[in-house]
Amino acid sequence: MTSEYCIEIFQQSIRDYHVHDNVNTPINNPHTTGSLEHLLYAKNWVDTVQWHLEDIVRDPDIDPVTGLHIKRRIDASNQERTNLVERIDDWLLDEYANVECKPDATINTESPAWAIDRLSILELKIYHMQIEAERNEATKQHKELCLYKLGVLLEQRADLSLAINQLLSDLAAGDKKMKVYRQMKMYNDASLNPVLYKHKSTAD
């Protein structure tokens, strides 16, 4: 796996979503279930839907009930995103399970999958900044600013891609050791979020 291959799958997911450009469009993952490609596509699809939910919920005229419904949907999406990142890390743990780490092998500041998560979000930023840079009704100043920002995003993609490839290469060579910590998010857990468990206690 390389960062370039991840980007290819992310772009495929983004293109597929924008065929209908609707947050309620069901995912139609073209990759084999259980494969890394399937996980990467699913991950970016969640990111893409959430990107548009974040746009919708910021409508100044949104009905408060609708807004709350979307906010809770975003919370659920964040949890799904975390779960998919951890499943990608699980896949990579298996991939490098037989690599013998060198005595001086170091640990990276983040796992490969969380770096890949950033790459997925970055691909969405690039896609939408490109649209803004070419939007017909936008002012010349707006387009020029977006073109500048697009250049920064493309440079960031190149740097992040290189860093991910170096990390994967170091893991394969045993220069870095694969170690994963779970996110252990608390706000969606009824046993860990005080508001939720107090509410449950009151209801009982």
pLDDT single digits (tens) 23-41? 999 999 999 999 999 999 9
Burial tier of 141 (Cβ tally within 10 Å: 0-12, 13-18, 19+): exposed
Per-residue confidence band for 184, with pLDDT thresholds at 50, 70 and 90: low
Distances 156 to 30, 151, 152 between C-alpha atoms, Å: 28, 9, 6
| pLDDT, mean of residues 85-100 | 94
> Is the pLDDT confidence value at 201 over 70?
no
Q: What is the mean pLDDT of residues 69-95?
A: 95
Question: Contact at 8 Å (CB) between 142 and 132?
Answer: yes
Whether residue 124 has pLDDT greater than 70: yes
